Amino acid sequence: MDRLPLPRTLKARLTIGLLALLALACLAVGLITVTALERFLLNKLDRQLVAADGRFAESLEHEAHPDTQYVADTRGQAEGTFGARLLFGVVTQASMVHGETHVPVPITSADRAALAAVPHDGRGHTVRLSALGDYRMVSEEGDEGDTLLTGLPYARVMDTVHRLEAVETAVFAAALLITGVLGALLVRLSLRPLSRVAATATEVTRLPLASGEVAMPPPVPDTDTRTEVGRVGAALNRMLGHVGDALSRRHASEERLRHFAADASHELRTPVATVRAHAELALRHPGAVPEDVLHALERIHYESERMSGLVDDLLLLARLDAGRPLERGTVDLTRLALDAVGDARAASPDHRWLLELPREPVTVPGDEHRLYQVVANLLGNAGTHTPPDTTVTLGIAATGGFAELTVTDNGPGIPEEFQSEVFQRFSRADQARQRTAGGTGLGLAIVAAVVDAHGGTVEVTSRPGRTAFVVRLPLPGPDAETGAAGP
């Protein structure tokens, strides 16, 4: 059997608990009052039996002699008074007062046994008669060795008790209903400060705390330390203050670092370009150059090109962090994929490059140059970090309102502990300072930043034998000038 669902909210639990306690109190009061009333009425009924002094039963004793002209005495007897005479366990007379006379009452063998069992102790006892129901009986010895019984109906007592039960049930039900409504309002009013604390905490959980400037919600007004809710509110306000200060300091530090990267990258562009130009000029010198000098010039030219690419990547990330808008146009992802795979095949001819394209072009709104950079970085990452003869597949599809670009390879995969960090800046699986392969560690960070600037998402799943990068870009809406056809 399934259990009844328990209330989960504190308001419901307090209200139900209050009603349960009140219901128990009403039940206890009802039982006590009904029991007390029943005992009181029974004692009163017994006193009436004693006060009647068995006159009706004694008159039946005399009436049992046919040679006498004695008539049963019903004067002063209550309606329904029962009288009986037993002689040697046999009921010789049994009547009930009805108005100013009496009527005989049929007695069964079970009734006779019940009447004979009433003790002669002068106290009332309850006896059930087949024809009359429950009666309160008093038994006494007669003058002729017989037994005389006088009784009053027990139903009157029970009628009064049942009326009390009905009244108490109605009163207690109304009390429970009124208490439930007022109690729910009182509990709701009492817990309103706690609701404000919960609402503030919920608002904090919805804030983008990972990065950027965060506007903390106002503190809760309930800070009275004399109450439990006030202490919780004061603690929450202190915590919000600490979190807000920490986030402000972090944001300030990020801004300083971002400005430094942008300024340093901008300042480095000119000297790096100058070094690169002089290296190229020296390499074009028509005269004989010693072999070691030639090697040094080639290394200077290579490293200057590498540094120039690093500076360009840093500048791009700084612009994206600053929220500078990208160019917006119609980008054909199908043509872009063809160009990117062709360039990747030329750069890494020892890999196998495959394309999975739909029949119709898939177009998205965005910056064509930056989206090409996304595809090129993903393909370059696959070509750099997988061994020769690895198969790399670039797929394009349109589904669910998004253009989906997937780059998969059957290489060794990305270590599981590193997968959550692949899109961070300068993040590399090889943490050694001397690196034999790979770039600057900014390629996938640029992918994530450019995709985010286009309102899309990028994710990676990897295991040995299969690594997949999935980029989702929103397709143009129905009001856009260009559309995208799915496969």
pLDDT, tens digit (0-9, with 9 covering 90-100), for 242-265: 877 777 777 776 666 666 666 666
What does the pLDDT read at residue 63? 56
Count up the domains in the chain and report the number.
3
* 122 found inside a domain: yes
The first and second tokens of residue 453, run together, are 């600037």
> Do 310 and 419 belong to one domain?
no
d(CA 305, CA 297): 12
Pairing of strands 133-141, 147-153: antiparallel
Give the pLDDT confidence score for residue 18 in this predicted structure: 86
- How would you classify residue 285: left for phi > 0, otherwise alpha for psi between -120 and 50, otherwise beta? beta
The highest-confidence range among 80-89, 182-191, 348-357, by mean pLDDT, is 348-357
| Distance separating alpha carbons of residues 172 and 182, to the nearest angstrom | 15
pLDDT, the chain, mean: 79
Residue 203 scores a pLDDT above 70: yes
Residue 218 counted as domain residue: yes
Q: Are residues 319 and 345 in the same domain?
A: no
pLDDT digits (tens, 9 = 90+) for 377-387: 899 888 888 89
pLDDT at 273 (0 to 100): 74
* Mean pLDDT calculated for residue range 440-449: 81
Sheet strand arrangement including 82-87:
101-104, 90-98, 82-87, 147-153, 133-141, 125-129
Give domain status of residue 200, yes or no: no
pLDDT at 432: 41
List pLDDT tens digits, range 423-439: 877 666 554 434 444 55
Residue 425 domain flag: yes
pLDDT at 24: 92
Tokens, residue 228: 């439990």
* pLDDT reading at 73 higher than 70: no
Q: Which domain holds residue 376?
A: 329-474
Tell me, yes or no, whether 272 and 347 share the same domain.
no
| CATH number for the domain harbouring residue 371 | 3.30.565.10
Categorize the per-residue pLDDT at 189 as very low, low, confident or very high, splitting at 50, 70 and 90.
confident
Please tell me whether residues 365 and 315 are part of one structural domain: no
What's the pLDDT score for residue 6? 61
Residues 156 and 213 both lie in one domain: no
Strands 352-356 and 391-399: what pairing? Answer: parallel
Q: Note whether 394 and 299 are same-domain residues.
A: no
For residues 396-421, average pLDDT: 88
**Domain presence at residue 26:** yes
pLDDT at 398 over 80: yes
Closest to 105 in 3D by CA, of 127, 88, 122? 127
Structure confidence at residue 295 (pLDDT)? 80
pLDDT higher for 222 or 107?
A: 107
Quick one: pLDDT at residue 71?
54
Tell whether the model's pLDDT for residue 68 goes beyond 50.
no
Mean pLDDT confidence for 359-364: 89
Task: Say yes or no: 337 and 382 in one domain.
Answer: yes
Higher-confidence position of 279 and 176: 176
> Which of 199-222 are b and which e, b meaning 16 or more Cβ less than 10 Å from the residue's Cβ?
ebeeebeeeeeeeeebebeebbeb
| pLDDT reported for residue 473 | 92
In angstroms, what CA-CA distances link 44 with 12, 40, 167, 291, 397?
47, 6, 22, 133, 95
Average pLDDT over residues 310-315: 70
Out of 324, 351, 374, a domain closes at 324
End-to-end CA gap in the chain: 53
Cα separation, 343 vs 346, in Å, equals 5
Q: Residue 294: which CATH number?
A: 1.10.287.130
Assess whether 373 and 469 both reside in one domain.
Answer: yes
What is the pLDDT averaged over residues 127-146? 84
Cβ neighbours of residue 252 closer than 8 Å, sequence gap 6 or more: none
Question: Do residue 293 and residue 354 come from a single domain?
Answer: no
pLDDT at residue 440, rounded to an integer? 62
Last residue of a domain, one of 324, 347, 370: 324
* 306 and 333 share one domain: no
Give residue 394's pLDDT band: very low, low, confident or very high (50, 70, 90).
very high
Look at residue 436 in the predicted model and tell me its pLDDT: 45
pLDDT at 271: 76
Instruction: Give the range among 234-238, 377-381, 395-399 with minimum mean pLDDT.
Output: 234-238
Q: What is the pLDDT of residue 417?
A: 82
297 is a domain residue = yes
The answer to whether residues 126 and 62 belong to one domain is yes
Give me the pLDDT at residue 327, please.
80
Is there a domain that residue 166 lies in?
no
Phi-psi region of 480 (alpha: psi -120 to 50; beta: other; left: phi over 0): beta
Domain final residue, candidates 324, 355, 382: 324
Are residues 150 and 67 part of one domain?
A: yes
- b/e map 77-89, b = 16+ CB within 10 Å: beeebbbbbbeee
Range of 73-87, 301-315, 423-437, 456-470 with top mean pLDDT: 456-470
Helix %, strand %, coil % for the chain, to 5?
A: 50, 20, 30
